[in-house]
Amino acid sequence: MKKAILFFVAPFGALFTLFYLIPIGYAIWQSLFTVERTGTFGPATEVFGGLTQYKQVFSDGPFWESIGRVLLFGAVQVPVMLGLALFLALLLDSGLVKGRRFFRLVYFLPYAVPGVVAAIMWGYLYSPNLSPFTEVTSAVDLLSPSLVLWAMANVVTWVYVGYNMLIIYSALLAVPTEIYEAAKIDGAGVFRTAWSIKIPMVMPAIVLTTVFSIIGTLQLLAEPQVFRSFSSAVSSTYTPNLTVLSTASIPNFHLAAAFSVVLALATFVLSFSFLKFTQRKGVQ
Amino acid sequence: MRVRAGSIAVLLAFSLGACSSGSDDSSSTEAGSACAPAGAPVTLTYTTWIPGIEKVVDVWNKANPDIQVKVQTGPNGNGGTYANFFNQLKAGNAPDLGHIEYDALPSFRVQDGLTDLAGCDIVTQSQSKFIDWTWNQVTFGEQGHVYGIPQDAGPMGLFYRKDLFEKNNIPVPTTWEEYAAAAEKVKAAGGYITNFSQSDINQFAGLVWQAGGHWFGNDGTNWTVTMTDEPTKKVADYWQGLIDKKLVSSVPPWTPEWDNAYNSSSAWTWVSAVWGANSILAGAPKTSGKWAVAPMPQWSAGEKVAGNWGGSSTAVFKNSKHPYEAAKFALWLNTSTEALTLLNKEAQLYPATKEGASLPALKEGVEFYGGQKIYDVFAEASTQVKPDFTWGPTMTKTYADASDGFKKAVTGQETLTKALEDAQASTIATLKSQSIPVKE
């Protein structure tokens, strides 16, 4: 029995260790070092620096600003995206629309477009002079400092709404039909069923997609990286992951590792507290 | 407490072990004797982003069966290849040869990533072939060190729309004062004199270079960072004035939007390097035959000083086992008429050699520029570049920081001078975080 468990877990365990645990361990290890050198071109010697790099991370203003920026982004974009995903899932499930398979595929299609390609495409659409909608984009500069964050939120929503819809929709399909029958007999209409039966039944799926989205938001990279070349408003430290990237390009691998570790911890704390929060609610 | 001290000791031992093996490597390549022929067939790896490089390397491979070169291409340096190089150096699997621009050479030297080729006779004997300032860039002005083979140079000139200047009776500016006056007239005629680039900090450095500014200094003990010296301030204030009066546009460079600004005749000039000839040709096909090239505007009438933007070297990485063969290939690539002609044909590279200026390909008129022999202008500019401009050891980051500020400047949130002050402060912080000695 034990052997069988080992047999089935081993492939996952090996890959998880190789591509997840070891890199994390290596990053933590790297983050504890600092370099010393003598002379203007002296070669670097790595010395143990304890938490030196972390001190720098915690005193780095732009990094924490960028954390604040992605939190604001998430606070708006995640509810909008998941609300939309839930709405579309309910719509597909309600039987009100014909061509359910067709729409399911259409909603999901943007997810098949790689994130970078999607960002480049939307970059063109937003461009003040070259967009097919220049009447809009030349009047409202969607790439300006005040709007570019939301322009990117739109790209992320466009890409991921179908993906999240699919997760919620498959949860809806798993709801036993007897419950609907019972609701119908009790006199519940379409909206009442959706509100009182379907949404509570797919809550675990919504929680799951929220956790995924929180993680995705904090690790935002492809969109701001692409938009950096399109927009004057996106700096090299616009999101936490961009800071990691530009620090690694110095190259200061030790500081970049410390940034990554702090970012991973922040992501963990946020997703974990969200899970705890929803679980407590579930108990009540 | 005792436990913790113990574990620190273990960590220290580990890190010291790693270091000592590193210094072994460096001593072996610093010795001149390391640069000897292998005496057996070798295969070299070479990473670059020169378009069409495969054709050039094919010519070498056919003639040199014993030194085969495998070429790999990637994005331009700051666009990702440098980051790859740094990662490969850390992992110990960097290629034998790499394409490194002059401004990035100090970054690689400070990371101990380059083989000093001063031990190779074939390299030191070639010094006289190269334009003096390009040799200075690869030796950092030091005797007895050579960290790369100069490949190309980027002497700057003024690309301008001859047709529009003539039609509107605007004289071609020879000084920066005239350039600003022309900017007013161009604006009145419905265009912009140029597009001010918010992210080409190396172009701005070229303008500062011309004005006699210095951003970095290195006295052997300390680095100095002076991105706000008087000449730099002069250049920054000048362009700030044009930005404030809205005489220049500021679309992000190297985007379709930017191509469009030139293609639709919205931007009338571009103060750029010789390789910029290809950028206009590729980005603004509708303006064929309408451009011409003049020398860069001067700060005082009658002066003849040019700036430089770009230019690259072919460097041999530290872990290369065949520095002799690598140097031999790099010298052929960057000095032979055969290779230089091909490099110019495929990628419009402008050679860093003295003889390069008289390549037949560089003596011909260029159709896109109304048949003008544009390379003559750059050949002259090439001799007018000041030899003593020094780059800092963390340029990718310095560029990113300055660009963050320039972006704010073009959107009216701050000034170019403030951006340069901030870039200087963050560059100093970056140096300190790398324990690179810097004098404040």
Domain contains A219? yes
- Measured CA to CA, the distance from residue A145 to residue A153 in angstroms comes to 14
Cβ-based contacts of A45 with chain B (< 8 Å): 19
Domain contains A276? yes
| Average pLDDT of every residue of chain A | 92
Q: Tell whether omega for the bond before B155 is within 30 degrees of 0, i.e. cis.
A: no
Residue B176 near residue B297, CB atoms below 8 Å? yes
Q: Which residues have C-beta within 8 Å of that of residue B224, sequence separation ≥ 6?
A: B216, B217, B218, B438, B439
- Measured CA to CA, the distance from residue B83 to residue B111 in angstroms comes to 12
Residue B216 near residue B223, CB atoms below 8 Å? yes
- DSSP structure class, residue A194: I
Closest to A48 (Cβ–Cβ): which among B11, B199, B256? Answer: B11
Domain contains A255? yes
Domain contains A60? no
Q: Inter-chain contact B397–A246, Cβ cutoff 8 Å?
A: yes
Helix (DSSP H) and strand (DSSP E) numbers for chain A: 15, 2
> Which residue has better confidence, B241 or A128?
B241
- Starting from the edge strand earliest in sequence, which strands make up the sheet with B312-316, in order? B67-73, B42-48, B97-101, B312-316, B149-150
Count other C-beta atoms under 10 Å from residue A242's C-beta. Answer: 22
Domain contains A169? yes
Mean local confidence (pLDDT), B156-168 = 97
Residue pointed to by tokens 């995705």: A216
Residue B295 near residue B174, CB atoms below 8 Å? yes
Q: Inter-chain contact A46–B19, Cβ cutoff 8 Å?
A: yes
- Measured CA to CA, the distance from residue A118 to residue A111 in angstroms comes to 9
End-to-end CA distance of chain A: 38
Which amino acid type is present at position A153? A
- CATH number for B156-308+368-439: choose from 2.130.10.10, 3.40.190.10, 3.20.20.370, 3.40.710.10: 3.40.190.10
**Residue A282 banded pLDDT, cuts 50, 70, 90:** low
Residue B57 near residue B69, CB atoms below 8 Å? yes
In this predicted model, what pLDDT tens digit does every residue of A69-102 receive, in sequence order? 999 999 999 999 999 999 999 999 987 888 888 9
What pLDDT does residue A134 have?
A: 86
Domain contains A106? yes
Residue A44 near residue B434, CB atoms below 8 Å? yes
| Average pLDDT of every residue of chain B | 90
Domain membership of residue A208 as a residue range: 78-111+159-283
Nearest CA in chain B to A128: B257
For A120-145, the DSSP string reads HHHHHHH-TTTSTTHHHHTTS-TTST
How many domains are contained in chain A?
Answer: 1
Q: How many residues does chain B have?
A: 440
Count CA within 13 A, CB hemisphere, residue B372: 20
Mean local confidence (pLDDT), B408-427 = 96
SS3 B294: strand
Q: Residue B285 has which token pair? A: 């096909």
Closest to B255 (Cβ–Cβ): which among A230, A237, A249? Answer: A230
Q: Is the pTM of this model over 0.95?
A: no
Q: Which residues have C-beta within 8 Å of that of residue A70, sequence separation ≥ 6?
A: A217, A218, A220, A239, A240
What pLDDT does residue A255 have?
A: 96
B115 touches chain A (CB under 8 A): no
Query: For residue A265, which of A215, A221, A230 has the smallest C-alpha distance?
Result: A215
- Measured CA to CA, the distance from residue A163 to residue A172 in angstroms comes to 14
Give chain B's largest Cα–Cα span: 84
Closest to A44 (Cβ–Cβ): which among B112, B218, B223? Answer: B112
Q: Inter-chain contact B90–A253, Cβ cutoff 8 Å?
A: yes
Percent of chain B with pLDDT over 70: 92
Domain contains A148? no
Rounded to 5 degrees, φ, ψ at B37 are -60, 145
**Residue A39 banded pLDDT, cuts 50, 70, 90:** confident
- In this structure, whether the domain defined by B36-153+310-358 belongs to CATH 3.40.190.10 is answered with yes
Domain contains A20? no
Cβ-based contacts of A59 with chain B (< 8 Å): none
- Measured CA to CA, the distance from residue A222 to residue A116 in angstroms comes to 6
A284 pLDDT higher than 50: no
- Cα B373–Cα B374–Cα B380 angle in degrees, nearest 5: 105
Q: Which of residues 43-102 of B touch A (CB under 8 A)?
A: 82-83, 86-87, 90
Percent of chain B with pLDDT over 90: 84
A47 pLDDT higher than 60: yes
In this predicted model, what pLDDT tens digit does every residue of A184-230 receive, in sequence order? 999 988 889 999 999 999 999 999 999 999 999 999 999 999 999 98
Q: Do domains B36-153+310-358 and B156-308+368-439 have the same CATH topology?
A: yes
Rounded to 5 degrees, φ, ψ at B48 are -155, 170
**Residue B13 banded pLDDT, cuts 50, 70, 90:** very low
In this predicted model, what pLDDT tens digit does every residue of B249-299 receive, in sequence order? 999 999 999 999 999 999 999 999 999 998 999 999 999 999 999 999 999
Mean local confidence (pLDDT), A41-55 = 92
Strand A45-48 to A33-36 pairing: antiparallel
In this predicted model, what pLDDT tens digit does every residue of A267-277 receive, in sequence order? 999 999 999 99
Domain parsing of chain B, residue ranges: 36-153+310-358, 156-308+368-439
Mean local confidence (pLDDT), A226-249 = 93
B114 touches chain A (CB under 8 A): no
In this predicted model, what pLDDT tens digit does every residue of A110-130 receive, in sequence order? 999 999 999 999 999 999 888
Cβ-based contacts of B404 with chain A (< 8 Å): 235-237
In CATH, what number is assigned to the domain containing residue A166? 1.10.3720.10
B36 touches chain A (CB under 8 A): no
Q: Where are the alpha helices (DSSP H) in B336-387?
A: 337-347, 374-382
